[in-house]
Amino acid sequence: MQSKLIIRVLPVLAALALLSGCSSGGGEGDEGIVHGGEASLVLPTLDDVPTAIGATGHTLLIIGMVICLCGLGFGMLSYMQLRKLSVHRSMLNISELIYTTCKAYLTKQGKFLLILWIFITIVIVGYYKFLVGFAWSRVSIIVFFSLLGMAGSYIVAWYGIRVNTFANSRTAFASLEGKPLPTHQIPLKSGMSIGMVLISLELIMMLVILLFLPRDIGGACFIGFAIGESLGASALRIAGGIFTKIADIGSDLMKIVFKIDEDDPRNPGVIADCTGDNAGDSVGPSADGFETYGVTGVALVTFIILAVEEPAMQGLLLVWIFAVRAAMVVASGIAYAINHAWVARRYKNAKEMNFETPLTSLVWLTSIICIAFTFATTGAVLGNGENGLGWKLALIITCGTLAGALIPELVKAFTSTKSRHVRETVKSSREGGASLNILSGIVAGNFSAYWLGITIVGLMAVAFGISTTGLEEYMIAPAVFAFGLVAFGFLGMGPVTIAVDSYGPVTDNAQSVYELSQIEQVDGIDEEIRTEHGFAPNWETAKYMLEENDGAGNTFKATAKPVLIGTAVVGATTMIFSIIIGLTEGLTNNVENLSILHAPFLLGLILGGAVVYWFSGASMQAVTTGAYRAVEFIKEHIKLDSGNERASEKDSRAVVEICTQYAQQGMLNIFLAVFFSTLAFAFVEPYLMIGYLISLAIFGLYQAIYMANAGGAWDNAKKVVETDLHAKGTALHDATIVGDTVGDPFKDTSSVALNPIIKFTTLFGMLAVELAVGLTSLGMSLTVHIAAAVFFLVSVFFIYRSFYGMRIQTEISE
- Looking at residue 36, what is its pLDDT? 61
Burial of 261 (0-12, 13-18, 19+ CB in 10 A): middle
The pLDDT value recorded for residue 202 is 93
CA distance 333 to 330: 5
User: Is 371:463 a contact under the CB 8 Å cutoff?
Assistant: no
* Segment 131-151 mean pLDDT: 89
- The more confident residue out of 571 and 326 is 326
Residue 157: partners with Cβ closer than 8 Å, 6 or more residues away: 106, 236, 282, 283, 284, 286, 287
Kindly give, in sequence order, each residue whose CB lies less than 8 Å from that of residue 524, ignoring residues fewer than 6 positions away. none
Tally of CA atoms within 13 A in the half-sphere of 255 that contains its CB: 25
**Crossing angle of helices 751-777 and 218-258, rounded to 10°:** 150
For all residues of the chain together, what is the average pLDDT?
90
Closest CA to 2 of 97, 105, 95, 101: 105
C-alpha distances in angstroms, 510 versus 278, 417, 502, 506, 516?
A: 12, 19, 13, 6, 10
DSSP letters spanning 90-119: HHHHHHHHHHHHHHHHHHHHHHHHHHHHHH
Range from 216-220, 417-421, 612-616, 740-744 carrying the lowest mean pLDDT: 216-220
Residue 40: what pLDDT?
75
Residue range 5-33, pLDDT digits in tens: 344 444 433 333 333 333 333 334 445 56
549-570 average pLDDT score = 86
In this prediction, residues 174-197 reach a mean pLDDT of: 96
pLDDT digits (tens, 9 = 90+) for 571-592: 788 889 888 988 898 888 999 9
Q: Using CA atoms, how far apart are residues 386 and 133, in angstroms rounded to an integer? A: 42
Query: Which residues lie closer than 8 Å to 443 by C-beta, 6 or more apart?
Result: 421, 424
Q: Cα(667)–Cα(234) distance, rounded to whole angstroms?
A: 9
In order of 4, 434, 777, the CA distances from 281 in angstroms are 24, 26, 46
Average pLDDT for 790-809: 94
Q: What is the pLDDT of residues 62-107, one digit of tens each?
A: 999 999 999 999 999 999 999 999 999 999 999 999 999 999 899 9
Close Cβ partners of 61 (under 8 Å, ≥ 6 residues apart) = 46, 207, 210, 211, 319, 322, 323, 326
Asked if pLDDT for residue 811 goes beyond 80, the answer is no
Distance CA 42, CA 318 (A): 13
147 with 6: CB under 8 angstroms?
Answer: yes
pTM: predicted TM-score of the whole model, two decimal places: 0.91
d(CA 131, CA 62): 37
Closest to 459 (Cα-Cα) out of 414, 398, 408? 398
Residue 179's pLDDT band, with cuts at 50, 70 and 90, is very high
116 within 8 A of 235, measured Cβ to Cβ = yes
pLDDT at 507: 93
Q: How far is CA 800 from the centre of its chain?
A: 27
pLDDT of residue 49: 82
Question: Which are the contacts of 130, defined by CB distance < 8 A and separation ≥ 6?
Answer: none
Instruction: Give 618's pLDDT tier (boundaries 50, 70, 90).
Output: very high
pLDDT of 138 reads 83
CB atoms closer than 10 angstroms to residue 813: 4
Tell me how far the alpha carbon of residue 793 is from its chain's centroid.
30
pLDDT of residue 386: 67
Lowest mean pLDDT segment, chosen from 120-134, 426-440, 520-534, 708-722: 120-134
Q: What distances in angstroms separate CA 203 from CA 17, 337, 536, one per listed residue?
A: 22, 22, 46
